[in-house]
Amino acid sequence: MERRCKASWDHLKVIAKHEMKPQLKQKMSDFLKDCAERIIILKIVHRRIINRFHSFLLYLGHPAYSVRDISVHRFSKILSEFALEYRTTRDRVLQQKQKRADHRERNKTRGKMIVDYGRNGCRSSSAPGGGQDVGQPQGLGHSEDAAEHENMKAVLRTSLGGSDKEVSGVPGLRTRTRSRPGRGGRTLQPRTPAVEDAQICGDDAADEIMERIVRSATQGPGTRAQPRERRRSRANRKSLRRTLKSGLTPEEALALGLTDCPDT
Cβ-proximal residues to 198 (8 Å cutoff; 6+ apart), any chain: 162, 163, 165, 166
Q: Is 23 exposed, middle or buried (0-12, 13-18, 19+ CB in 10 A)?
A: exposed
Task: Please give the pLDDT value at position 86.
Answer: 94
**97-101, 103-107, 159-163, 175-179: range with highest mean pLDDT:** 97-101
- For the chain, the domains span 1-69, 71-129, 145-171+194-215
Task: Please give the pLDDT value at position 209.
Answer: 80
pLDDT digits (tens, 9 = 90+) for 149-186: 888 788 777 766 655 544 444 445 555 555 554 444 44
Task: Please give the pLDDT value at position 99.
Answer: 93
- Predicted confidence band at 249 (pLDDT cuts at 50, 70, 90)? confident
- Predicted confidence band at 100 (pLDDT cuts at 50, 70, 90)? very high
Task: Please give the pLDDT value at position 137.
Answer: 45
Which of 52 and 250 is assigned the larger pLDDT?
Answer: 52
Mean pLDDT of 131-158: 65
Distances (CA, A) of 86 to 59, 75, 77, 80, 170: 22, 17, 14, 10, 69
pLDDT above 70 coverage of the chain, percent: 57
Task: Please give the pLDDT value at position 94.
Answer: 95
**38-47, 104-113, 126-135: range with highest mean pLDDT:** 38-47
Which of 227 and 91 is assigned the larger pLDDT?
Answer: 91
Does residue 205 contact residue 171 with C-beta atoms inside 8 Å?
yes
Task: Please give the pLDDT value at position 95.
Answer: 94
